[in-house]
Chains A and B, each alone.
Chain A
Amino acid sequence: MRHSKIKKLVSEYIDGELKNNVEFIEEHIKTCAECFKLIKVHELVRETLKEKNVEVSPYLFTRIQAKLKERKAQQTIWDYVFGFSKELAIALILIFIILIGIELMSGKTSIKIEEAVLNETPSVQKVISSGGNLSQDDVLELTLSNGGKK
């Protein structure tokens, strides 16, 4: 077995994760200075890491609670803003659709005063009293009456 492979097994042996070749590795460590160093490194690192520890403040949970409340409050403001915007947008879209609908409907049922004049209708009074808009029926009536007068 190559030494690089043995060194990897030594590392697994140190961690108690080696399933096979345990005796072989134990024998090897006794005579190999390089592999022994890995064990020494393991002991030193372990010792050092466990030596100095920190403790968090007893108020950590209180701080987390406060932070959560703060985030929740911010979220509520945004929810309100976004919620309101959504409703406003829907209302504006509806108003726009209604206006377009009205425009389309009125275009079908009435014609403008200029068109009435261009159609050579002589009853200006009728046009004025209609407020500038004439229904198709009005135009038809005026045209017929005009034609009759001729």
Chain B
Amino acid sequence: MKEQFETLDEAEIVKRAKDGDEKAFEMIIKKYQNRVANLIFKIIGDSSVVEDLTQDVFLRVIESLRDYKFGSALYTWIYRITVNICIDEIRKRQRSRTYSLSDVLTQNPKVEPAHSPVEKTVERKELREIIENAISKLPLEYKTAIILREFEDLPYEEIAKILKVSVGTVKSRIFRARKLLAEHLKEYREILK
């Protein structure tokens, strides 16, 4: 049975899944589960919720599969659901969190980071944390766009379909994300050398 499925193309598997074939669901989930999990991990930045949110994504995929049109690639459609679930999760967290003034200031990308008079030196092991921290401070729409570009290697057109915005908006969001990241990393001048 498994071998029979492995010879099928994705469209046929989706068609079977739409008809309620459980084996077809399993094939789709196993193919995309780690990609979805990593996209969630990169956007949310918290590994403790990845498993549950990945489960939520596929439950929504299964429940709304009948609405899927073959016009767009399956991964585009799954990624769109993933991004929406991440946005819901982030908004939920923001609602339940009480911000202190310092939190607001550090989270606001428009606020210039404090520049240390002494140039900070960075150990290699710290580098990842600094970049991750800078990414986490990006506004959600910029962060999502840059992650889909840099982590998923998706072309602008696909990103536009996932985020349901124009290609021009995607270009602009990615550019602004890079500009903000460069500003956040200014204090670590050696990184950008």
Which among B33, B62, B171 is the interface contact of A60 at CB below 8 angstroms? B33
Decide: A41 and B178 in contact? CB cutoff 8 A: yes
CA distance in complex: A46, B152 (Å) = 10
The total of chain B residues at the interface (CB under 8 A) is: 43
Residue ID in chain B nearest A11 by CB atoms: B175
| Min C-beta distance of B23 to chain A, whole Å | 11
Q: Which residues of A contact B127 (CB under 8 A)?
A: 44, 48
A45 contacts B by Cβ under 8 Å = yes
Q: Mark B50-77, 1 if CB is under 8 A from A, else 0.
A: 1100110011001000000000000000
A8 contacts B by Cβ under 8 Å = yes
Q: Which residues of B contact A48 (CB under 8 A)?
A: 127-128, 131-132, 135
CA distance in complex: A60, B50 (Å) = 11
Q: Which of A20-75 touch B at CB < 8 Å?
A: 37-38, 40-42, 44-46, 48-57, 60-61, 63-65, 67-68, 71
A-B Cβ contacts below 8 A, count: 102
| Min C-beta distance of A70 to chain B, whole Å | 11
B107 contacts A by Cβ under 8 Å = no
A15 contacts B by Cβ under 8 Å = yes
Which among A38, A55, A56, A67 is the interface contact of B178 at CB below 8 angstroms? A38
Decide: B179 and A7 in contact? CB cutoff 8 A: yes
| Min C-beta distance of A7 to chain B, whole Å | 7
Asked if A64 meets B55 with Cβ closer than 8 Å, knowing A11-B178, A37-B182, A54-B37, the reply is: yes
| Min C-beta distance of A114 to chain B, whole Å | 66
Decide: B182 and A49 in contact? CB cutoff 8 A: no
B140 contacts A by Cβ under 8 Å = no
CA distance in complex: A57, B29 (Å) = 12
The total of chain A residues at the interface (CB under 8 A) is: 33
Q: Which of B138-193 touch A at CB < 8 Å?
A: 146-147, 149-151, 155-156, 171-172, 174-175, 178-179, 181-182, 185, 191-193
Decide: A49 and B150 in contact? CB cutoff 8 A: yes
Decide: B55 and A63 in contact? CB cutoff 8 A: yes
Q: Which residues of A contact B112 (CB under 8 A)?
A: none
Decide: B34 and A64 in contact? CB cutoff 8 A: no
A115 contacts B by Cβ under 8 Å = no
Q: Which of B105-153 touch A at CB < 8 Å?
A: 127-128, 131-132, 135, 146-147, 149-151
B12 contacts A by Cβ under 8 Å = no
CA distance in complex: A55, B41 (Å) = 10
Q: Which residues of B contact A65 (CB under 8 A)?
A: 22
Decide: B54 and A53 in contact? CB cutoff 8 A: no
| Min C-beta distance of B83 to chain A, whole Å | 15
A79 contacts B by Cβ under 8 Å = no
Highest count of chain B CB atoms <10 Å: which of A40, A52, A54, A63: A54
| Chain B residues with a Cβ under 8 A of chain A | 22, 25-26, 29-30, 33-34, 37-38, 41-42, 47, 50-51, 54-55, 58-59, 62, 127-128, 131-132, 135, 146-147, 149-151, 155-156, 171-172, 174-175, 178-179, 181-182, 185, 191-193
Interface CB pairs A-B, < 8 A, 9: A8-B171, A11-B171, A11-B175, A37-B182, A40-B182, A44-B185, A48-B128, A48-B132, A53-B38
